[in-house]
Amino acid sequence: MKIYYEKDVNIDVLKDKTIAVIGYGSQGSAQAQNMAESGLNVVVGLRKGGNSWQTALDDGMKVLTMEEAAEVADVIHILIPDEIQAQVYEKSIKPGLKEGNTLSFSHGYNIHYQYIIPPENVNVTMIAPKGPGSTVRGQYLDGFGVPGLVAVHQDYTGNAHQVALAMGQGSGLTRAGVLETTFKEETETDLFGEQAVLCGGVTELIKAGFQTLVEAGYQPEVAYFETCHEVKLIVDLIYKKGFAGMWHDVSNTAEFGGLTRRERVITEESRKEMKEILKEIQNGKFAKEWALENQAGNPQLKRMRAIEDDLEIEKQGKKLRKLCGLEK
């Protein structure tokens, strides 16, 4: 695997170039501010009068409409939600694209599933921080950075790879290291991680553990601490020290119990379902399902959000997070 650091970057490829960051949410604000403070010429493209317009101005950014930003930019870095990128691209970005421009992303979704099909005379690149926007910004301000991924889908000018790496340096990613990947690999692994482990898998595991204890007659407050609150403590240990370091730091009882029982929770059936989830990502079934959901106005997502908000673990969590000083 190839990893790039600051010594591998030719920042001059962005000299006298204008980078338009489309969107000013968590990633947009972090990457735009980092690149601007690294000396790159950055404008922010937003919907006129939208929620982020004044925020970006208050942060000292030059703010234009998305159409204006696309027109003046040499690099157009799209950081709006996946589900609206294709529509915004067709309406506000595509008309302003010029030969030799770079169309840049931090997630390969719309290129990989061909919801956006760029012209052949532009670069198509990805520079993707492996961390939330708040961490991207915080690490940069602390003099370091989060790791990132770089990929080139289309290299029209012959230097698309260096353009992407230069943007990564501007955001602080090459301080930590930027790994080579492809749009396909980044998209499919990212979706799988979210669905099977990080968001879907973890929350269902926590919920099942909480319900098991409460149904057995234990206090919900105690069940919350044991199955949800302490997850962060364990994940932090794994993050810092790996599995072996985590096992070393917990009690011998916890280590023996965890190692001897974990495969009774994550069974062969669970692993088969993970493979099915991955297959649905690879063959585009999930992407089509998500597209139809958005076209219908997100009825399923709204219903599931309401159910999630009403869970007993959520009610206990709000109460106990206040007790721990995590919420006001």
Q: Which residues are annotated as a binding site for substrate?
A: 251
**In sequence order, which residues have a C-beta less than 8 Å from that of residue 124 and are 6 or more positions away?**
102, 103, 104, 105, 111, 118, 152, 153, 154, 160
Positive or negative: CA dihedral 12, 18, 20, 26? positive
Please identify which of the residues 77, 107, 112, 153 carries the catalytic annotation.
107
How far is residue 137's CA from residue 316's CA, in Å, rounded to a whole number? 32
Residues forming beta bridges with residue 102, ordered by sequence position? 75, 123
**In sequence order, which residues have a C-beta less than 8 Å from that of residue 96 and are 6 or more positions away?**
67, 69, 70, 71, 73, 76
Spatial CA neighbour of 57 closest among 31, 33, 26, 74: 33
The two beta strands, 178-180 and 3-4, are antiparallel
Q: What's the distance, CA 228 to chain centroid?
A: 22
176-206 CB burial, b ≥16 within 10 A, e <16: bbbbebebeebbbebbbeebbeeeebeeebb
List for the chain the helix, strand, coil content (%; round to 5).
Answer: 60, 15, 25
Backbone angles phi, psi at 24, to 5 degrees: -140, 45
Active site residue 229: no
Q: Which segments are annotated as binding site?
A: 24-27, 47, 52, 133, 190, 194, 226, 230, 251
In a 13 Å sphere around the CA of 81, the CA atoms on its Cβ side amount to 5
Which tokens is 201 given?
A: 């898998």
The two beta strands, 41-46 and 75-78, are unpaired
Q: Which segments are annotated as binding site for Mg(2+)?
A: 190, 194, 226, 230
User: What are the start-end ranges of the E strands in 107-230?
Assistant: 123-129, 148-154, 178-180
Q: Which segments are annotated as binding site for NADP(+)?
A: 24-27, 47, 52, 133
Task: Supply the residues annotated as catalytic.
Answer: 107
